[in-house]
Amino acid sequence: MSPTEVPLHPPFLPTSVIDDVSAVVYDLDGTLVNLVVNWKRVAEDVVVVLSDHGVNASNEDLWAMLDLADEANAREAVEAVIGDHECLGARRSKRLPHADELLRREVPVGVCSLNCEAACRVGLETHGLAEAVDVVIGRDSVPTRKPDPEPLRATLHALGIDGPALFIGDSPRDELTAERAGVAFEYV
């Protein structure tokens, strides 16, 4: 590998591509901060809410439960439960090294996350990052969620960006989101 390349999840992106972008968008949890959330407890609480709406979701994962909530007209109640856990976890979150990198950015910066928008804002405020982030799009900010490209596209649109951008995340879901949106991707 030449000195001008940065090791990323294959394929590798030359540093010039990363430095030559109009905006950088970060995932939140696992990228900028680690939310302290007991996801098993969240799922248990969501199962109770769905049960109150006549839906048995005891064998479903959290993302499937969100879909079931839509079908049962219980999305608001389910989002409230998940959001409460996420906001508490954001207050207790641990700051990660990419948070320092975010503060050094000279281009517009956004956050595009599977967490609710309120939790994103709490996490950013908790770690002194809120003023450095121009746009926050959470799971509840747009009708779809990652890996659908709409949340990332909405982030870039809100930033007023139509040039090259970079999405930085920690999961295959983030990578797929970037690919579907036609945006360069970097793993943390």
CB-hemisphere CA count at 13 Å for 145? 14
Q: In the listed set 67, 90, 113, which residue is the last one of a domain according to the structure?
A: 90
Please tell me whether residues 98 and 72 are part of one structural domain.
Answer: no
Please tell me whether residues 176 and 102 are part of one structural domain.
Answer: yes
Please tell me whether residues 10 and 100 are part of one structural domain.
Answer: yes
Token pair 């430095």 in the structure block, residue: 19
Please tell me whether residues 108 and 21 are part of one structural domain.
Answer: yes
Beta strands in the chain (DSSP E): 5-6, 13-14, 23-26, 33-34, 94-95, 109-112, 135-137, 165-169, 184-187
Please tell me whether residues 65 and 48 are part of one structural domain.
Answer: yes
Across the range 96-102, mean pLDDT stands at 95
Number of domains forming the structure of the chain: 2
Please tell me whether residues 113 and 21 are part of one structural domain.
Answer: yes
The CATH number of the domain holding residue 19 is 3.40.50.1000
Q: What is the pLDDT of residue 10?
A: 37
Q: What is the pLDDT of residue 19?
A: 66
Give pTM, 2 decimals. Answer: 0.88
Average pLDDT, the chain: 91
Q: Are 110 and 23 in contact (CB under 8 A)?
A: yes
Farthest-apart Cα atoms in the chain, separation: 59
Helices vs. strands in the chain: H and E counts, helices first = 8, 9
Full residue range of the structural domain in which residue 113 is found: 5-34+94-187
Please tell me whether residues 75 and 146 are part of one structural domain.
Answer: no
What's the rounded Cα separation, in Å, for the pair 112 and 17? 20
* pLDDT tier, 3 (very low <50, low <70, confident <90, very high otherwise): very low
Q: What is the pLDDT of residue 79?
A: 97
| Three-point CA angle 137, 141, 143, nearest 5° | 125
Q: Are 81 and 57 in contact (CB under 8 A)?
A: no
Token pair 């943390």 in the structure block, residue: 188
Token pair 């049962």 in the structure block, residue: 72
